[in-house]
């Protein structure tokens, strides 16, 4: 698994002039002539010989070339993008996957047991380092983040959280939450792993033991503001029994949430996996497998130490393995000790903290909306017949949809992974370009010819593809500027480049987007990163596309309210995909019918 690790290149520091030129190119379509002139002047001052830009670049290069530094960005990024972030992880940090239905396993304990067996099989491969490295276009990816997957937990702390890792061999239990009550289920008994049948029996016992009454909603504390949770956790840990219980939760391999609700629609299942009722969860754990009363299932991930590509592989392994019957379920049917319920001593102060966290969570969720567009007209196979990159196609659908709804294009983030470098994480692909804006305008021009629209599309996806290619090679704009800002010493004045309004505006992500491909998922998403924008996660399948749209309810953008805006944007996505299909089909030869 780690055989390429030490030979992976270090994350590069791009040439200063290259980044600044690219930055100007990305802000040009977003700014008026007057604002662009102001930004251009700020860039010129920054890159002047002997100026502040060269000084910051020298400091950043010195850090990058320090033999003791593996990745110049990782400590800054982990703290400022995740651990130092004080808003709740739910909505703002956590993400989710919804699994397709398992036609063989419709009982919740049955499905949860199978998922657990597959996850533990993956854990074994990680621990034994037999898991094959990931590759992108033939190049090996960094596998370092897998160490944060199992027996890990995010710990609330002021001013910045931290992660804790427990011995994965000594801690072979999972935590099962039912009716807000926490149970510990060992997955090894007398030296032998539990079979799927034995796990199912244990989960059925948890359901029986939990009964019909809900327990105190201790888990909702993890959904609160991080400073509040830090204070509340300290109150909990004053009691030795509470501390022991928390240690058991935080050291567990992962969490299995046996919810008592039964979501039916994609929207319902997505919201249930995204946040649920906030009570039957422990959001600090990086892995939570959620199984519902009707057998539907999914996953909730804590994002701080692992990006979605890593947990996507885990979940793909689980869902594909169960669908193809390649998971080893075992055959033993032993009589096992009953699962143990963790007991907590709750003082009036802690009970009040739980009530406050519940109110905060309910208010937060009530402010947000989510909807899913399952677009079944075509998928990856047809897009390739259009002679287009599937990702580029989806990005232009998003750009055109936004233009349809707002009459303008605005800053867009697309996640590009930099895991070809040691401990690499992500870089921003800035999807809006001069070419993409022209494409949107010509698509909405009723007098433009089909040929002009197709030419506009080809130029737009070429621009998006070129930027993504640079981003995954560590040659994007945003992480480099992030590093330069962090190279300022305390007390040094910020250069005009960083105080220029265009700098903040061009990274105000009205659209935060990312994609994955899986035939086994029926949902994937997260929240918007700004309250006047959308979070748009999309799945590219062989014969369909799926877009998850999240935003605040009735969002307001630049002073204008959009009642039911989440669903308006969903409709615009469908219309944009149809429009693109119609023009591109004119170039596809008609296949003979038999």
pLDDT at 462 over 90: yes
CB 59 within 8 A of CB 487: yes
The pLDDT value given to residue 590: 64
CB 527 within 8 A of CB 543: no
| Rounded-to-integer distance, Cα 52 and Cα 67, Å | 25
**Average pLDDT of span 60-87:** 95
pLDDT band at residue 589 under the 50/70/90 scheme? confident
Across the chain, what does the average pLDDT equal? Answer: 96
Q: pLDDT tens-digit profile of 493-538?
A: 999 999 999 999 999 999 999 999 999 999 999 999 999 999 999 9
Q: pLDDT tens-digit profile of 543-580?
A: 999 999 999 998 999 999 999 999 999 999 999 999 99
Closest alpha carbon to 383 in 92, 584, 518: 584
| Rounded-to-integer distance, Cα 540 and Cα 560, Å | 32
Cβ-based burial of 270 (10 A; exposed 0-12, middle 13-18, buried ≥19): buried
CB 250 within 8 A of CB 155: yes
The pLDDT value given to residue 246: 98
CB 396 within 8 A of CB 580: yes
| Rounded-to-integer distance, Cα 289 and Cα 298, Å | 6
Q: pLDDT tens-digit profile of 388-408?
A: 999 999 999 999 999 999 999
Residue whose tokens read 């997957």? 149
| Rounded-to-integer distance, Cα 564 and Cα 121, Å | 44
CB 330 within 8 A of CB 195: yes
In sign, the C-alpha dihedral spanning 383, 372, 308, 289 is negative
Q: Which residues are catalytic?
A: 303
**Average pLDDT of span 182-202:** 97
Q: pLDDT tens-digit profile of 419-451?
A: 999 999 999 999 999 999 999 999 999 999 999
Length of the chain in terms of residues written: 594
**Average pLDDT of span 49-63:** 97
End-to-end CA distance of the chain, in Å? 48
**Average pLDDT of span 81-100:** 94
pLDDT at 593 over 60: no
Given 3-state DSSP classes, what are the helix, strand and coil percentages for the chain, each rounded to the nearest 5? 45, 15, 40
Q: pLDDT tens-digit profile of 343-372?
A: 999 999 999 999 999 999 999 999 999 999
Express as a percent the part of the chain with pLDDT over 70: 99
Closest alpha carbon to 584 in 446, 413, 416, 389: 389
| Rounded-to-integer distance, Cα 429 and Cα 478, Å | 9
Residue 437 tokens read as: 């804006």
Closest alpha carbon to 280 in 214, 338, 354: 214
The pLDDT value given to residue 591: 63
Strand stretches in 286-384, DSSP E: 287-291, 297-301, 340-341, 368-375
Q: pLDDT tens-digit profile of 330-345?
A: 999 899 999 999 999 9
**Average pLDDT of span 213-227:** 98
Q: Say which residues have a Cβ less than 8 Å from residue 459's Cβ, sequence separation at least 6.
A: 435, 438, 439
The pLDDT value given to residue 29: 98
| Rounded-to-integer distance, Cα 429 and Cα 472, Å | 9
DSSP one-letter code for 302: -
Angle, CA 404 vertex, CA 401 and CA 405 arms, to 5°: 90
Interhelix angle for 450-472 vs 565-584, to 10°? Answer: 110
Residue 421 tokens read as: 């470098």
The pLDDT value given to residue 588: 85
């Amino acid at each position: 698994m780690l055989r390429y690790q030490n030979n992976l290149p270090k994350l590069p520091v791009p040439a200063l002039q290259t980044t600044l030129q690219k930055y100007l190119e990305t802000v040009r379509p977003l700014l008026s002539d007057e604002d662009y002139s102001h930004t251009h002047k700020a860039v010129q001052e920054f890159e002047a010989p002997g100026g502040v830009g060269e000084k910051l670049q020298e400091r950043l290069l010195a850090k990058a070339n320090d033999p003791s530094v593996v990745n110049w960005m990782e400590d800054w990024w982990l703290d400022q993008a995740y651990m130092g972030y004080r808003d709740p992880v739910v909505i703002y940090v956590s993400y989710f996957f919804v699994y397709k239905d398992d036609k063989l396993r419709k009982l919740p304990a049955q499905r949860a047991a199978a998922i657990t067996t597959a996850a533990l099989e993956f854990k074994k491969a990680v621990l034994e380092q037999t898991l094959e490295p990931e590759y992108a276009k033939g190049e090996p990816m960094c596998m370092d983040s897998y160490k944060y997957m199992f027996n890990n937990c995010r710990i609330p702390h002021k001013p910045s959280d931290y992660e804790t890792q427990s011995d994965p061999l000594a801690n072979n239990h999972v935590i099962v939450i039912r009716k807000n009550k926490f149970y510990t289920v060992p997955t090894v008994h007398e030296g032998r792993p539990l079979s799927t049948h034995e796990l199912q029996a244990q989960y059925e016992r948890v359901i029986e033991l939990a009964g019909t009454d809900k327990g105190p909603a201790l888990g909702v504390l993890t959904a609160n503001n991080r400073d509040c949770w830090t204070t509340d956790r300290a109150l909990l840990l004053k009691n030795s029994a509470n501390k022991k219980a928390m240690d058991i939760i935080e050291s567990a391999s992962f969490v299995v949430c046996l919810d008592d609700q039964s979501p039916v629609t994609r929207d319902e299942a997505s919201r249930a996996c995204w946040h649920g009722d906030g009570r039957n969860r422990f959001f600090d754990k990086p892995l939570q497998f959620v199984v519902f009363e009707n057998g539907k299932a999914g996953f909730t991930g804590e994002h701080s130490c692992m990006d979605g590509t890593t947990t996507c592989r885990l979940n793909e392994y689980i869902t594909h393995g169960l669908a193809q019957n390649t998971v080893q379920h075992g055959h033993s049917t032993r009589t096992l000790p009953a699962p143990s319920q963790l007991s907590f001593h709750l003082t009036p102060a802690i009970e009040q903290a739980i009530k406050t966290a519940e109110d905060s969570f309910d208010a937060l969720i009530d402010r947000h909306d989510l909807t899913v567009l399952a677009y079944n007209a075509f998928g990856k196979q047809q897009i390739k017949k259009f002679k287009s990159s599937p990702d580029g196609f989806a990005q232009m659908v998003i750009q055109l949809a936004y233009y349809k709804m707002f009459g303008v294009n605005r800053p867009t983030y697309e996640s590009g992974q930099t895991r070809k470098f040691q401990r690499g994480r992500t870089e921003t692909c800035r999807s809006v370009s001069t070419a993409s804006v022209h494409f949107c305008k010509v698509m909405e021009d009723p007098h433009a010819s089909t040929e002009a629209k197709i030419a506009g599309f080809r130029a737009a996806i070429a621009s998006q593809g070129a930027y993504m290619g640079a981003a995954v090679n560590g040659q994007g704009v945003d992480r480099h500027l992030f590093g330069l800002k962090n190279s300022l010493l305390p007390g040094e004045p910020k250069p005009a480049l960083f105080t220029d309004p265009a700098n903040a505006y061009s990274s105000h992500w009205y659209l935060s987007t990312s994609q994955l491909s899986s035939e086994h998922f029926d949902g994937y998403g997260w929240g918007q990163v700004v309250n006047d924008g959308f979070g748009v996660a999309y799945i590219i399948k062989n014969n369909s596309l799926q877009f998850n749209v999240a935003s605040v309810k009735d969002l307001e953008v630049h002073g204008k309210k959009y009642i039911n805006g989440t669903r308006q944007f969903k409709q615009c996505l469908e219309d944009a995909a149809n429009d693109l299909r119609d023009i591109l089909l004119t170039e596809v030869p008609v296949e003979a019918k038999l």
